[in-house]
Amino acid sequence: MMMTFQFFLLIALSFKVVSTNTLPTNEEYLNITNLDEILQALEKQNFEVAKWRDLCLVLGIYKPTLNGIEATNQHHGVDRCLQECLSSWLSKADKVKQKGGPTWYSLIVGLRNIKEINTADKIHRNKHSQEHPACEIFERYTSDSSIQKNLLSLVNLLYGEKIVKKVLWPKDGRELLQHIGNSICVNYQILEAFGVVLQQSPVTMSIGRNILKEYKRRFPEKKDVTSSDNKNVHFVASSDLNFTKLRGEFADAIFDINQAMIDKPSLQELYQYLRWGYKHLRPHLRDCENRADILNLISEHSSLIDIGLLESIVFKFNIEEAKPAIQKYKENVNKFRQSLRHVLDEKFFHRHLLQSETITFSIDQDVDGITLKDVEKLIKAAFKEHAPCIRVHVISESNSFTVTCSFPLLLYEEINLAAMENIEALKEKGLQRLTIGFNTVYDKACEQQLDTEDDHCSQSIHSGRLEQMAIYISVKQLNEAHDKEDHTSTNSYLDMVSSVSSWLLILLILFITTIYVLVKPVLTDQKREAKSTQETLDKESQAHLQTNIEETEQARDTNDKELKRSDSDGADAAPHTWRHFKRAPKEVIIIGSFGNHEQWKLPGTIVSPKLIPAGVEGFYENWIVQEVESIVEIYKKDPANYELKDIPEKGESRQFYLDKIKSLFENCKKDEALIYYTGHGEKDTGNWCFEDGVISFNDIFELYMMHFRGKSLQIVSDCSYSGKWIHDCGKKLDEYGILSCGHKTREQKMLFKIFTSCLPHEEATLLTYSRKGIRYSEEDKGVLIKYDEEIKMEPAQKGQYPMHVDFRHIHCYKMPGDQCELDSTCTWEDRLCKKRERIVFLVDNKHDKFPSWYYLLISGDTFDEFKGKQDQESIGVEEATKYGKVLYSGPGQNPSSDVKKKLNLRFDMNTYASYKFTDC
């Protein structure tokens, strides 16, 4: 029966579209700059260069590519062939990505596969293990034969947690280990997730625990802020509400209780009590060899606000010496139950969270009116008798507030059923969304979108439910199989009865959800047909792009088109506030570039000062001083949201300001920072110019990644060519493989928002932006910045067009907690293209019986020529491709709505360099 169900489940999973993204990367792949280092390592460790073809084949380079390299370099020898081959590998050519990408780990595996064992071992020992301690830990523990034997049974979990890129069903665990090793080599944090996954299997649990211990030793967690004074300004500073102090008291309580339990209860009593009373602890108990191990397990399953497990043991076995410690700690915790405001973003439970063991509640209520006790009541209302097994990890504020909890995966079946039974009561409490693992139990937004044409919500919910079920079943089977070895015949019989009941229940749940997905489209056909009729527009107009663009436009457009909030709190876009990143107070530094640039000695740098409008007389430097003073006064009017840290001094150097920026990042006590620059810009780059050099976007980006990553950085740049910085930011994000949506930048913790006073090819005019582009609004009670519309001083040589891009903004149609819709074609380069290119829709009727449609991307430089030729005679796609490239194509005369949606997701039609759509 189990095998039948698993087979059915695998068939169902094969129909769903899945993501191939890995966890956020903290380390880059090797690139072309590492070529010399790799060649030296191979030479030093006596690699047999004649095997260059064999090596590159196993690394993912195709044979035709190798033939081309050999033919081109036949007069230069095998050394040149190896160099060119590794260059292709580092450029991720051919099938390199599918082989794990260019990493030291994949190189070592490749060397071993071609029997270059000594070379591989020496590189691993002398190079790789030193620079990549996570890989060294991984290889040390995965050499255990039990890992390879049992890893296949965890493949659903490894896939679901995105530790491997795709579902693999190899004959043994070796291939799977190679994929995991490559992922860890790119991102060491995956090692922690891998350790937690191993703990789900009784056979590999001890190995997982050892990996986690080693991981925490080699990669210690950053210390939490030591005082509420260091949190955001909305936190109340109070010595009574000091989380560091509470953690110390938690440690004291755990220690005192453990000391009181040295002699009582007995090891056997403790084991039996936990085994029968706490089903989810059974797998962990098998790995406990003595009393200390069990007490440590109990401590690990207690949290800052919940020591209920310890308390139950103390009162069950009447341990009088421990009761005062329990009572004292509960009194301390009660101080934190008064308001959520005091505990926002604090970690109650320190443990790596697997997605499959995570519960999230999104509640539409004001945080200030909610207490921590209310959250505990919410959990109890949702899960009833299973509530004690739920651990609150963190509470955060979004449009309302979100509670993130963990639950034991083995209890998924019971917890999910309890939530479904109590969903109406939760909705009355303001529930907006509830997820248990990958399963979305309830989503109000999806409930309101039942009449959408593609019905993405129900498909996503159904696939998530199947994915969670597959993970749960595989882990449940592992533990049940191990139970049968340990149990007596009586216990085995009871487990069998329980197992049969569980499978019947699971089948029932799957049957209901499958019927729901199949029947729901039928019930909504009439609504879809009505909507489809309403959206039919004139085919000669811009109808080909209107579908699916309207929703994006609603999210961006505001009623006040001239002036927009510099902090996108979503107030002007109420229907889609979830797209915006939450507004937060900022620490601000203002930077000014003063002095006569003609006297500066900057080889290779062309300084472009601001244009001086007619009628403005006097020294340029004096006017820059006046600009700075006016900017300072604007931000001073809103002290609640802007805390001024530094005001520019005359004649300071590039290094002086880089140090200031670094100091801002290192010492910022708020969640956001703002850097405002006004002064000279470098021609064609928009870099900030000083007497001793320039500050580029890359300079700030590197400081951000080292000292501020995970917090929001807003940059306002008022200089000539400043718009180039928006493209520099997009280029950086593309280099890191971050797709063009806020889902990805938030996930990767690269949170940028940039305002510039002009376009990339424009010169800025003195006093224009500071006087007409930015102001404080009494009506809006905030600082407003103009963009996407020309501003100029009168009289002036010319105007300028300010720009703005919030790289945190969600561009696809999924909610913040959902999986992003974008695919690998959606780059920031496309969204922020430098040229005014055109998207052209073309129907090729050269073959009347078989017409085809095409979307082409045509450069603005050649578009007029293309349009002129098209006006004279209808041209086919073969000739049209001389003017640009084909983006999408298909048979017939009308593309599907899905293609139009992809087009809009990839090419934002509403950015400053919008792609002009032409129906030829």
Condensed to tens digits (0 to 9), the pLDDT of residues 242-266 reads 566 777 787 888 888 878 887 778 8
Query: Cis bond leading into 220, ω under 30°?
Result: no
Helix (H, G, I), strand (E, B) or coil at 41: helix
Helix (H, G, I), strand (E, B) or coil at 254: helix
Q: Which two tokens stand for residue 718?
A: 């008022």
Whole-number pLDDT of residue 236? 33
Q: Which two tokens stand for residue 297?
A: 């397990």
Angle (deg, nearest 10), helices 52-59 and 104-113: 120
Whole-number pLDDT of residue 131? 62
Query: Domain locations in the chain?
Result: 2-218, 228-436, 566-828, 833-919
Whole-number pLDDT of residue 435? 92
Distance, in Å, from the CA atom of 280 to the CA atom of 176, rounded to the nearest integer, reads 28
Q: Is 533 exposed, middle or buried (0-12, 13-18, 19+ CB in 10 A)?
A: exposed
Which of 383, 341, 346 minimizes the C-alpha distance to 361?
A: 383
Sign of CA dihedral 90, 94, 99, 100: positive
DSSP category for residue 305: T
What is the pTM (predicted TM-score) of this model? Answer: 0.43
Extract the residue ranges of the chain whose pLDDT is less than 50. Answer: 1-27, 167-168, 222-241, 450-454, 488-498, 519-576, 835, 910-920
**Per-residue CA distances from 143 to 137, 139, 151, 153 (Å):** 10, 6, 12, 17
Provide the strand spans (E) within 376-503: 391-396, 401-406, 431-436, 439-443
CATH 3.30.450 at 566-828, yes or no: no
Which residues lie below 8 Å from residue 800, measured CB to CB, with a gap of 6+? 757, 758, 759, 762, 763, 764, 765, 768, 769, 790, 791, 792
